Chains A and B, each alone.
Chain A
Amino acid sequence: MASVELKNVCKSFGSVEVLRDVNLSLEGGEFVVFVGPSGCGKSTLLRLIAGLEDITDGELMIDGERMNDVLPAKRGISMVFQSYALYPHMTVFENMAFGLEQAKLSPDEIKARIAQAADMLQISEYMERKPRQLSGGQRQRVAIGRAITRQPRVFLFDEPLSNLDAALRVDTRLEIAALHKRLADTTMIYVTHDQVEAMTLADRIVVLNAGNVEQVGTPLELYANPASQFVAGFIGSPRMNFIGGEVAAGHGAATFGIRPEHVDLSRDKGLWKGTVRLTEALGSDTFAHVDTETAGMVNVRLAGAERIGEGETVFLTPQTEAVHLFDDAGWPVRKAKAA
């Protein structure tokens, strides 16, 4: 069980500050997802932990040991890269053996470890193939297999699903979740910009924005109690509706936030009157974009394939207990239900 701790970690490239005073404490065996828009520093943070970038200031501790100046290979870390980064001239077996050979393990030990990993990932039949003879999903498994054989204390994933097509992405996501259950002692850190991956995989999510940690918490904590307007907008799909103007002012805030699933729609009475401009029917849900007189455009979720015509006049009522209020700096104001 390897804990990972970052103390006041900063990273600058020249004069550009990418990460500012990051403090994080990850428990051993935890699955933590770093999520944020591109350029928020999440990949850089992962590379600092991996040792591929130097830490400008602050401390990185793994299991209580200071790791700032320890070589990447000596940190007990494995990494799965976005592009898989398999060695193209080596077979699957050689790819998986390379790191173990560098660690000077005996050939028997190497074979045993590879056989075990290959078995777990069901890639035993491809062992003699080259990466170019494998499909995207198979390459991904080999990359994960290569990382497993090193028996790391901490497992790093850098957007591992972004090169896969949509169907395969869901399957692989489930496999990674299963892998985490099998390797319960291994701490896993996973970087993604996809909040659905973050919500489904994580024990805890770290939301990063412009080099700062915005919030750390379990997926449901982040969903229910976002610590800032940024987190509120980033977590949850589709996005939370942000309404300014009179509606927000009426609650003593700059922004009034309500998720599409927390707005009730009625054909005859409600708080906001509006016209349906666009509907998106997904089968299980239908999303209606309603142009209201008082609150502007509001996205509403309707259960099932409810039929609603574009151009129809409807009334919307936000569920008061699910309202999020933010001041003009994006910080939360006291909850509406308490008011």
Chain B
Amino acid sequence: MKKIIKYSLLDILRNRIILAYTLLLALVSISLFLLEDNPAKAIMSLLNISLLIVPLVSSIFCTIYLYNSAEFIELLVAQPIKRSRLLWGVYLGMITALLVALLLGIGLPLLILHPASTSLHLFLISCALTVVFASLATLSAVLTRDKAKGIGLSLLLWFYFTFIFDGLVLLVLFQLADYPLDTAMIGMSMLNPIDMARIGMLLQLDISAMMGLTGALFQDFFGTGAGLLLITFVMLIWMAFPILLAVRRFKNKDL
């Protein structure tokens, strides 16, 4: 498995797209901090950008990469290697490459320009989202044979989690406005990794004071050690579930 990881990692790192991604992230984070004299606001803007771009790039890139290396995967399947190890290897190679890009593009500029706990938080959240969307992308690539369909599916997932889900939440909120939904919102937020990442980050910033009762409830729930553990746990489920499902499907897939 190590060899596969090494191979796909090196293959991706040589890729121009990942280089462009790293540069884009670095450019955005550096220019935000240089333009904005209030670091808290810069962090806020960077959060907005990383909530949009990081999942998008991670899901598109992974799906395309998996389809492009379909021949390589088929070749390896013919070798005496377990299929699960093969997919794990490619997957781990992909996320390592993306995390390296993130480290250089967001982590390093943050460390130099604004070394604070909120920066670390932002970096960790971006990492978690990268892994979650790489898993989802792998799943959609394994589920469909057609390249266009697979990319469409992973785009749709990204679109769902970024826009549609929040729209649905708004709809539910107004349909059930007569019921106390404040605690239910905590459960709702766990159904969307992007929402969880956003709320987790907002609670770290002093802007959370604006969030009123709901904010206070979230703070009460997620602010404690147990809450933080729960966030981590739910995020881990979001990372693990799609890839485990993908590996299961891949084992019996007719290539």
Query: Do the two chains belong together in a single complex?
Result: no
Chain B residues packing against A (C-beta within 8 Å): none
Chain A residues packing against B (C-beta within 8 Å): none
